[in-house]
Structure 1
Amino acid sequence: MIGMEFIAEIRRRHFVGGESVSAIARDLQLSRPTVRKALTALEEPAYKRRHQPCPKLDDFRARLERWLDVEYRLPRRQRRTARRLFEGLQAEGYRGSYDPVQRFVKRWKASRASSPGVAQAFVPLAFPPGETCQFDWSREAVELGGIPQTVKLAHFRLAYSRQMFLVAYPREAQEMVFDAHIRAFAFYGGVPARLVYDNLKAVVDTIFAGKERQFNRRFLALANHYLFEPVACTPESGWEKGQVENQVGNVREWLFTPCPKFAGLAQLNAWLETRCRELAARPHPTAESRAVADCFAEERPLLRPVTASFDGYVENSMRVSSTCLVQADCNRYSVPAEWAGQVVSTRLTADTLRVVADGQLLAEHARCFGRGQMVCNPWHYLPVLEKKPGALRHGAPFREWELPAAIRVVRDRLLRHPKGDKAFVEALLLAREAGFDRLEVACELTLKSGVVTGPVLLNTLRRLAEPARPRRLEGVPAPALRLEPVADCGRYDSLREVRHAH
């Protein structure tokens, strides 16, 4: 780009001096197209930057705009800067640079300030009772067990009564969405006719023109079970569910400022449910003479009753490894040894993992939310121990096996002797049929005897597992004969007179 001084000289040399375009370009070391462009220019050319594409930010534009829209309603001191918004997007999975986020925030703020004194206009809405409920997620900072963490908070809000429900989860996954709906419908005591969502992946698979959506098939199973109509908002139009969007900012101010502290997630959710009931005593936003709880009492009978709870799991098929493990959500869980190498189904819920095959439940574990953890049930490996008893000493499933004190002492003493591991494995095999409580009693009796060996332990356990003998009936008189036979020993003398043929 050339300056105005060059443009004036070029026009003067051509129009006044009569020099050709080629001569001017050669003398000023410019291209001929540049010289021709300068001849037609009357003002200094301004550099117009084209719109710069930001492909990595495209998937996060709606979320970033929603954050900006929510924080625009907050006091200026409580709004996040572009740098803080960039860090929030990084926590959500954004892998781009900071500059596109900064430019987007700058353009968004400029669009809001382009018409000073003129606010965006909306039509006031009125919802009939029992019809509409709005749903959204938010990220909140808490301290659980002394560790600062970020939890995902599921927000529900009945549009008529403004009754809200909150529940926290470690992450924003589909099984968490299912569990949040189950808890919300139980809290409300019924199901509304419509639920309004963002276009989150757990709900919407594909966005078409207008309001057309291809909903997730598993989510449709939830909607069909509770018979509510799912409605997805227009992208980047958070005002279509403005009540719950506004609730996100209010809840952060009311409940999460300052940062709350709890022993665990269960205690946090119990506190949130209590606070939802307490906050219902606030005045209704439109009917100020009534409380939210009064409007909810009017709306509750119009909700559809819940006849049966939905089994909100996400299912995947996989093959059991040779170490009797299946992987789910970056962690490994044990399966009974007889299913090693076979295909099973894992069903993830918000707090459990179930392993199912051939219509039967094979294993159930409490779900872990870390990474690289291994959750094992030692009883799943008992058939392997029957063939390889030496694995009892160093097997990972048995190293941290929490056993009663008596069983642990007997095990440690038996492992000091040759083939003691085999004897303890035989005791475990007997306990599988006789019961773990009897094994504990057998170990206690073995310790009292002072002789801790495999045969003594097995003998004690077999005696405990032996079925009880029937009691002897006492006090019942034996039947008496009315005519007792007379003893006649002479009959035997007649046998001596019998002659035998030879």
Structure 2
Amino acid sequence: MSLSKQELFDRIRRDSWQRQLSIRALSKKYGVHRRLVREALSSPVPMPRRRPVRTSPRMEPYKKTVDAWLRADLEAPRKQRHTVRRIVARIEEEFGEAIPYPTVRDFVAVRRKEIAAQAGAPVEAFVTRHNALGADAEVDFGDVYVDVAGQRTRCYLFAFRLAYSGKAVHRISRSCGQQAFFEGHVHALTTLGGVPAGQVRYDNLTPAVKKVVFRSRSREENPRWTSFHEYYGFIPFYCEPGLRGAHEKGGVEGQVGYFRRNYLTPVPQVDSLDELNARLAEFEAKEDERRIGARMRTIAQDFACEAGHLLPLPDDPFATGITLTPRVDRYGMVTVKMCRYSVPVRFIDRKVTVTLTCDDLTVYDGRREIAHHRRLTGRGAEHLVLDHYLEALLTKPGALERSEALHQARAEGTFTAVHEAFWAAAKKNLGDIEGTKVLVKVLLLHRHQQHADVVTGIRTALAAGTFNEDVIALEARKAAQAAGRAPTVTASAPAPEPLDLAPAPVTPLTPRRLARALPSDQRPLPRLEQWDELLRLRRKDSS
């Protein structure tokens, strides 16, 4: 077993004192030179090891020149000072000597600090901040990737962290715009049950800051952000731009990375961001039992002390969404934040009202909702709903097959294999134009009946060899009643989710009737003369 030099000195001194061993005996026992034994007996602490002074002969002729360059850098702009690579290049350009990069690097690393100290340059130092109960908090955004419905999507993690307890609240959204910024605050303050009484520290985020006043702590705020923090009653504090200000909110800077590594690795796989945000609450509950650094109490215990010092919340939350009034173009679409969304074609060339949140976009005509979309990210993205174009497709049936709305409906699963089979059979029997018109009329049934019920009706019609939309509607009502559901849906009901359409046990009557050779229906048609007599009676009474 190898001993450290201090342990070796202690054993030599102990054996010399207790066992009265000679210097020769101690040297032989520990396998060391007698000089080391004499050194251990003369001093209980080993002498520090002398480090050899390394010289760089190749660098020696240029040291004064490099020193002059480094002194000139003290007055130069920060982004135009010499790097090691530039010094190597200048020596080669001006003196024709190719000095290895590590040699120059080691010299510059030492001399840059010494020259700065000789010139009296200020020393970079950090001062520990005192965090009062319920006073301060920190906010930051961090990017994170999520597999949403099988598609890898770049999202943003909002983190709101109380400085005293370290209690942090998180929320993931598709963007880091102003709506996501506001909704993250509302969620965090609601979860915490109060508002910090002191400062909340921020980067110079675009949703909050319109302009940074040069070499000043002053900021020109976004007016809506000013209304937001005045509504909740906290004071924003803006850090210095760039890396110089990162330490001013170091708690949340580390929190974003810590949370991403420990709870969002590997890449989460979810059907929607709502599902992932529900998981975040479970992760935060686990974090409450953690101790930060060398603290004696857990995050939950510190937050229990801090919660009573937070300011109360307003009675109603701040309205985070924004309202816009775009005009519907000739393609039946509105443009919002450089993305395009479809609306029913009957509203073409009319102004509509759009409410935009961080995750959703809702379109209104007056007070009536006419369209709802998931908010898109990325310049030029489009989302089209096939139902919005059905009236136009009745007059232009040839446009359906190559339409973007149909392509997106197939990708989302709302235009199923049953619809495809019905369309193919209708075109084969009725021709392309009439077959497509029949399909459009069937698609109109989805506005008033459940998606699964209409699909069941289509499957029954295919088996029976009919393409009448009234038959499909009747079979859809029967399927709804058999399942105990209402046969119709209201216009304001949300669009049904795409279903896994397993074959349903539907028994068509037409094949059974043909197989048994049943006689045709010989019953007489109903007579309406009695009803006509009632109409005449009503007219006599009114006269």
| TM category, shorter | 0.5 to 0.7
2:401 match: 393
For residues 474 and 247 of structure 2, what CA distance do their matches in structure 1 show? 69
Q: CA deviation at 1:365?
A: 0.8
For residues 432 and 155 of structure 1, what CA distance do their matches in structure 2 show? 41
2:421 match: 409
Match of 2:329 among 321, 326, 332: 321
Q: CA deviation at 1:409?
A: 2.6
For residues 407 and 460 of structure 1, what CA distance do their matches in structure 2 show? 12
CA spacing shift, 1:384–1:147, aligned 2, 3 Å: closer
Match of 2:253 among 217, 228, 248: 248
Where does 1:46-65 land on structure 2 (aligned, <5 Å)? 51=76
2:537 match: none
CA spacing shift, 1:453–1:259, aligned 2, 3 Å: closer
For residues 175 and 275 of structure 1, what CA distance do their matches in structure 2 show? 24
Does the Cα contact within 8 Å between 2:202 and 2:249 map onto a contact in 1?
A: no
CA spacing shift, 1:390–1:129, aligned 2, 3 Å: same
CA spacing shift, 1:424–1:251, aligned 2, 3 Å: closer
Give RMSD over aligned pairs. Answer: 4.3
Where does 1:148-297 land on structure 2 (aligned, <5 Å)? 151-193=155-197, 194-207=199-212, 212-225=218-231, 227-233=232-238, 235-236=240-241, 242=247, 244-249=249-254, 251-252=256-257, 255-256=260-261, 260-264=266-270, 266=273, 269=277, 272-283=280-291, 288-297=295-304
CA spacing shift, 1:411–1:222, aligned 2, 3 Å: farther
Q: CA deviation at 1:323?
A: 0.9
For residues 369 and 133 of structure 2, what CA distance do their matches in structure 1 show? 42
Moved more, 203-212 or 345-354: 203-212
1:453 match: 467
Q: Give the % identical residues.
A: 23
TM-score if structure 1 supplies the norm length? 0.60
CA spacing shift, 1:152–1:126, aligned 2, 3 Å: same
Match of 1:382 among 381, 390, 398: 390
CA spacing shift, 1:239–1:343, aligned 2, 3 Å: same
In the alignment, structure 2 segments of 5+ residues that lack a partner are 1-67, 86-107, 482-543
Q: CA deviation at 1:322?
A: 0.9
Match of 1:363 among 362, 367, 371: 371
Q: 1:24-67: per-residue Cα shift (whole Å, max 9, x none)? A: xxxxxxxxxxxxxxxxxxxxxx896874697xx9xxxxxxxxxx
CA spacing shift, 1:385–1:131, aligned 2, 3 Å: same
Q: CA deviation at 1:337?
A: 0.9
1:425 match: 440
1:354 match: 362
Write the letter of the residue equivalent to 2:473: L
CA spacing shift, 1:241–1:125, aligned 2, 3 Å: farther
Answer 1 or 2: higher relative contact order, Cα 8 Å, separation at least 6.
1
Q: CA deviation at 1:126?
A: 3.3
Q: CA deviation at 1:285?
A: 6.0
Q: Report SS of the residue matched to 2:326.
A: strand
Q: Report SS of the residue matched to 2:200.
A: strand
For this pair of structures, how many residues does the alignment match?
A: 367
For residues 316 and 124 of structure 1, what CA distance do their matches in structure 2 show? 46
Moved more, 378-387 or 190-199: 190-199
Does the Cα contact within 8 Å between 1:238 and 1:245 map onto a contact in 2?
A: no
Write the letter of the residue equivalent to 1:397: A
Q: CA deviation at 1:328?
A: 3.4
1:128 aligns with 2:143: no
CA spacing shift, 1:411–1:110, aligned 2, 3 Å: farther
Q: Report SS of the residue matched to 2:352.
A: strand
CA spacing shift, 1:118–1:207, aligned 2, 3 Å: closer
Q: CA deviation at 1:341?
A: 1.9
Q: Report SS of the residue matched to 1:155.
A: strand
Q: Report SS of the residue matched to 2:462.
A: helix
Moved more, 183-192 or 230-239: 230-239
For residues 171 and 378 of structure 1, what CA distance do their matches in structure 2 show? 26
Write the letter of the residue equivalent to 1:381: Y
Write the letter of the residue equivalent to 2:442: A
Q: 1:324-351: per-residue Cα shift (whole Å, max 9, x none)? A: 1123344321111122122334433222
Write the letter of the residue equivalent to 2:191: F
Moved more, 148-157 or 171-180: 148-157
CA spacing shift, 1:411–1:284, aligned 2, 3 Å: same
2:341 match: 333
CA spacing shift, 1:236–1:369, aligned 2, 3 Å: closer
For residues 146 and 318 of structure 2, what CA distance do their matches in structure 1 show? 31
CA spacing shift, 1:112–1:284, aligned 2, 3 Å: farther
Q: 1:136-187: per-residue Cα shift (whole Å, max 9, x none)? A: 23456x5747988765433321122221233344543222212221332233
Write the letter of the residue equivalent to 1:426: K
CA spacing shift, 1:251–1:375, aligned 2, 3 Å: closer
2:15 match: none
Does the Cα contact within 8 Å between 2:289 and 2:298 map onto a contact in 1?
A: yes
Match of 1:442 among 457, 480, 490: 457
For residues 300 and 130 of structure 1, what CA distance do their matches in structure 2 show? 7
For residues 78 and 327 of structure 2, what CA distance do their matches in structure 1 show? 43
Does the Cα contact within 8 Å between 2:246 and 2:253 map onto a contact in 1?
A: no
Write the letter of the residue equivalent to 1:263: Q
CA spacing shift, 1:447–1:284, aligned 2, 3 Å: closer
For residues 387 and 190 of structure 2, what CA distance do their matches in structure 1 show? 36
Match of 2:350 among 342, 357, 369: 342
Q: CA deviation at 1:202?
A: 0.7
Does the Cα contact within 8 Å between 1:144 and 1:262 map onto a contact in 2?
A: yes
Write the letter of the residue equivalent to 1:403: F
Q: CA deviation at 1:430?
A: 5.1
Q: Report SS of the residue matched to 2:363.
A: strand
For residues 155 and 228 of structure 1, what CA distance do their matches in structure 2 show? 19
In the alignment, structure 1 segments of 5+ residues that lack a partner are 1-45, 58-80, 83-105, 469-502
Q: 1:80-117: per-residue Cα shift (whole Å, max 9, x none)? A: x99xxxxxxxxxxxxxxxxxxxxxxx99x968994599
Write the letter of the residue equivalent to 1:324: G
